Amino acid sequence: MANHPFENFKLDAELIEAVKDLKFDKPTEIQSRVIPKILKQANIIGQSQTGTGKSHAFLLPLIQNIDISIHEPQAVVVAPTRELAQQLFDAAQHLTQFKTDVSVKLFIGGTDFEKDRQRAKNQPQLIIGTPTRVNDLAKHGDLHVHLASYLVIDEADLMIDLGLIEDVDLIATRLDESANIAVFSATIPKSLHPFLNKYLEQPEFIEIEHTTQNKKNIDFYLIPTKGDAKIDKTLKLMDVINPYLCIIFCNSRDSANELGQQLNEAGIKLGMIHGGLTPRERKQQMKRIRNLEFQYVIASDLASRGIDIDGVSHVINFDVPNDIDFFTHRVGRTGRGQYHGIAITLYSPDEEANIGLIEERGYVFKDVDIKNGELQAIKAHNKRQSRKNKDDHLTNQIKNKVKRNNKKTVKPGYKKKFKRELEELKRKERKQYSKRQNRQARKNKKG
């Protein structure tokens, strides 16, 4: 019988069984490149987008390296949000159902601190949590973080955004000088460089490139709107699509609340995830979402980095993100694994510049609009913009010609006459331009 591809990493038999149970047929690129490095306790900077199999790229080797005879922390994993930490803990728990002699515990904010202190009395070998809670428990002497030989920092750029890098710094400071660190981030912002330079000596940089950005199992659609008509367009869109589960992303909490109110008034049952919810409310919402009580969930940008929900068939960008990196995080919620996904972006004229920036990252959209109760192809927005730019240039040139021809006293009906002359000259200019292009094409062909 042929070996399972993950056996090439020389993982324990129990972990191979866990991988088989996960239906992992072969390692992803980041798993192939990261697992051997962490098994060797190397310093790593890993840059990859969501949905690349990153979590198991570090959890598998961390659990493999645990010395089961030592009942003290040997590795610490910190994530920027409670949801992300919970997801990592769930993944680790699945692995330890097979490798049962490894202990892992979760420590996150929004839970009873005194209870966490009690739970920490039996020191876990693998600590997973949010930076502030882990640091507070270490500060009180409850968690022996200083004994860990490996620290993993997940979603480091979001740590920066949420102001958590100082807590991460304090955790790293507690480690022995011989400890090693792996930092994973979708982007490497300049504000992260001081931390990397301070703690990672001669790190190995692993980048998983996305040159074409468009994932083959996601269809990317672009729908034009006028600013005030976005909510109406969203309601029409809901009549067209029938998602298993759809996440609608907004740029801010206020935008999410306003959209949620309007859709609720239209009789649509919605889930809501944004930074304005209390820890208890977020937990309740996530439970209801996972129980498929909602067909639609509205989320803010930061939430797009902190939720991982199975079965997201559609993503709707109600607002085009101001930070283009968030576009990748948003659309990465759908089309996971072998599933097909649909990502729809609504845009108003003032958001077209950001659409251009997204396209510069390698994304390719299908321009559509809602007609006769379905999505129908329309003229590409960039062609419309190109034509507009050409027309603007022609207009400025021709206006000068018309003005030179009309230097006499302004007479009644001048504006209408000016407009007619302008359109006639533009028509002639386009015709001449077309002839020049055809002549040039024939010349190039002969050459």
Spell out the domain ranges in the chain.
5-207, 218-382, 392-434
Distance in angstroms (rounded) separating the CA atoms of residues 264 and 298: 11
* Helix spans in 190-313 (H): 193-199, 230-240, 253-265, 279-290, 301-304
- Give the pLDDT confidence score for residue 262 in this predicted structure: 93
Cα-flanking dihedrals φ and ψ of residue 279, to 5°?
-55, -40
The predicted model gives 41-56 an average pLDDT of 85
Q: Which of the following CATH numbers is that of domain 218-382: 3.30.830.10, 3.30.565.10, 3.40.50.300, 3.40.640.10?
A: 3.40.50.300
Q: What is the pLDDT of residues 334-347, one digit of tens each?
A: 887 678 899 999 99
Least confidently predicted of 228-237, 248-257, 303-312: 303-312
At residue 272, the 3 state secondary structure works out as: strand
20 vs 227 pLDDT, higher one: 20
Q: What is the pLDDT of residues 194-252, one digit of tens each?
A: 999 999 988 999 988 654 556 778 999 999 998 668 999 999 999 999 999 999 999 88
Containing 270, the helix (H) or strand (E) segment is strand 270-273
Count how many Cα atoms sit within 13 Å of the Cα of residue 250 in the half-sphere of its side chain: 20
CATH of domain 5-207: 3.40.50.300
372 vs 134 pLDDT, higher one: 134
What residues pair up with 127 in beta bridges, in sequence order?
76, 105
Q: What is the mean pLDDT of the chain?
A: 84
- Give the pLDDT confidence score for residue 442 in this predicted structure: 59
Contact 138, 116 (CB under 8 A): no
Give all strands of the β-sheet with 314-317 in edge-to-edge order.
270-273, 296-300, 246-250, 314-317, 341-347, 218-224, 366-371, 374-377
The predicted model gives 408-425 an average pLDDT of 57
What residues pair up with 314 in beta bridges, in sequence order?
246, 342
Asked if the model's pLDDT at residue 285 lies above 70, the reply is yes
Asked if the model's pLDDT at residue 371 lies above 80, the reply is yes
272 vs 280 pLDDT, higher one: 272
Asked if the model's pLDDT at residue 437 lies above 60, the reply is no
- Give the pLDDT confidence score for residue 332 in this predicted structure: 83
Containing 126, the helix (H) or strand (E) segment is strand 126-129
Q: How far is CA 79 from its chain centroid?
A: 15
Asked if the model's pLDDT at residue 419 lies above 80, the reply is no
- Give the pLDDT confidence score for residue 428 in this predicted structure: 63
The predicted model gives 142-167 an average pLDDT of 93
Banded model confidence at residue 27, pLDDT cuts 50, 70, 90:
very high
Alpha-carbon radius of gyration of the chain = 28
